[in-house]
Amino acid sequence: MRVCRQGEERPPYDLIFVCLKSQQIGETAQHVAGLLAPEGSLVFPQNGIPWWYFEKLDSPLRGTQLKSLDPDGRIARAYRLDSIIGAVIYLPTDHPEPGRILLADQATDRLVIGELDGVLRPRPRGDQGRPLNRRA
């Protein structure tokens, strides 16, 4: 895996981890979308409910857009839903004062990665030849 700064990219990429705060995703959506290979995948690890949460959920809320996370819809327009691999971070934190964040060491700390609708699909393969969406 290679990490690079904006301007150092050599697209297209089969897999991109977008590790930005939710309020920064919209600002970079067009740029990041342009780096992705046609059959590539994007992972947006989020702490909390991500912008795509209701898109493929088997629920009456399916398709509900979260305006608080994508107010003008530019994120939804920039990325194909089928290119997204869901990732939600469960890490309790506390912000007792400006500039200070406490990470709670909890048994519930975890990163959940999977398809938006829960169905396993073939995805690009990693350096070891294993599917990137394999279960641990």
pLDDT band of residue 132 (cuts 50, 70, 90) is very low
Residue with the larger pLDDT of the pair 94 and 45? 45
**CB-based contact 98:73 (threshold 8 Å):** no
The stretch 32-48 carries a mean pLDDT of 90
Nearest CA to 90 out of 49, 118, 122 is that of: 49
pLDDT at 134 over 80: no
| Average pLDDT over all residues of the chain | 83
Cβ-contact 37, 9 below 8 angstroms: no
Residue, of 129 and 26, whose pLDDT is higher: 26
Tell me what the mean pLDDT of segment 13-18 comes to. 91
Residue 60 confidence (pLDDT): 93
Does residue 101 contact residue 94 with C-beta atoms inside 8 Å?
Answer: yes
Q: What is the pLDDT of residue 33?
A: 96
User: Would you say residue 16 has pLDDT above 90?
Assistant: yes
